[in-house]
Structure 1
């Protein structure tokens, strides 16, 4: 539990009301009760503020007059402030040093490392201090893992890959599987191209459950510092992602594509191979990126949902769009005589 003045002393912001109010957790406006700290991150939820039972709220300066005497913390970004408060209430787990008797560990590891049951660590692996290796993880030959990184149960990191410091990799993630590389024979058969590159992951990277990042064919697949990858993402071989880029769930990035720094890729977007996306690009959910993007901004290439019958009618018109364009051009090219323009 924290007093409001303790939170402000740690995280900043401006305190209004009883500084001695103690809060035990953060909660939504609807679910908050006595002892809870709620937040208003969007003005569309203001109608719920008055009825909330929260002991205190986090608000922006323009919302402060609407709090009506309730203790509050005023900050320019309530959602960011909420995230930092939530971290105080729910600190990251620390390693419980030791190797479980059911783990198979060939390499030497620091005494501060926690290795769970069923984990396997191959030869020539280097693991930093305070690393957590969850139950059933596999760490391949020659892998390097930086200080403070946490692997949830059943993470696989294949041979030769590098993971930086303070990373979080969630269950089912596979780092360093072979990329999809084949050469086709004249008869239609496929010849596998050995994938001899690595996956190199920077510091402070989070990788969601069941996300796969393929190793490079020759060069490395690279994930920059501070990147955040959601669940069920496919990153193909030789992809390079710049620092602090965030990618939502079910995105697929095809091989040899470069994504810049500080980009945001919406859920179920698809990015075809061998493209380049510059820094500070936002790709909307469901968008197919089929050509390189050279200017920062927001890019969208998806249709909004609509009733099925309406979609059928619109698509019927779309099928005849080419013929319609031809008719318009034909009309534009018709020559009209002077007498026709001035019939009187």
Structure 2
């Protein structure tokens, strides 16, 4: 069921009139005082328009963003190596992060204190604050050491550890659903009602390396993307999956003559709109696309923004969309030149871009 969204080639650079389906990003505001190296992860607070940004410069920065997209820095803290992931606690009081120092750290906004709450044996690729019914906040961290660990801020040791089939590349959570994507295309689905074991082990339906997993706001499924310009819509329930699951091609472009094949790009960012359940994809081609999975249609798409897009995030009500334009390391360190763009752009959204279309 590939190509269901594809009405035109992705990432077109035509200079003709902008079609009504084009996502206009030209006037988006740039985040003030951005990181000094590639941006690996971003997350908006669920309580206020505060954006946490993780970077390869070993820092996590926290910004306050206005409804128009203007911004100012509010806090910053450091790891001892590149930071790969930064996410908010549900109550907006803390940011939790992980990185190549193998550490899981939490920063309290009110006290400005940063503490280490966990340790892995290899870099930490993803963290999420989750509810496991313990009555206190718990942090889940996934690592290249092939484990998923749970941390209680009141304890020094992990309260539980799950062995994963391979190195963890991406993780997301919504409600009682936690999904981990690992190397060799393994997908581990965990029911947080029983957080100490894997509920379902499956494989990505995509043929190439997993790049991102992102859970639906409804908590009944997830999207998974690959380095090979594809996205799959997956459901936890087998009956729902048989009826509603599918995959599609995206972030591809026609090569210029004399080549007649497609240029294929990694899909680095997937974020779901918290109100409408529509979602974006963004990739190494530097384009952003908004999709409606239920009507299987593309809502809007942008022209290239001048660099690879490494991460994306919607704010708590979907009125702001952040996307990081920075090197994604897909071509090796030698392509990370000093003049490569490194910035976060803020796009105020509207319903014509993000609201679902009526089902046909």
**TM-score, with normalisation over the residues of structure 1?**
0.29
Higher RCO structure (Cα 8 Å, ≥6 apart): 2
TM-score calculated relative to the size of structure 2? 0.28
Pick the structure with more strand per residue. Answer: 2
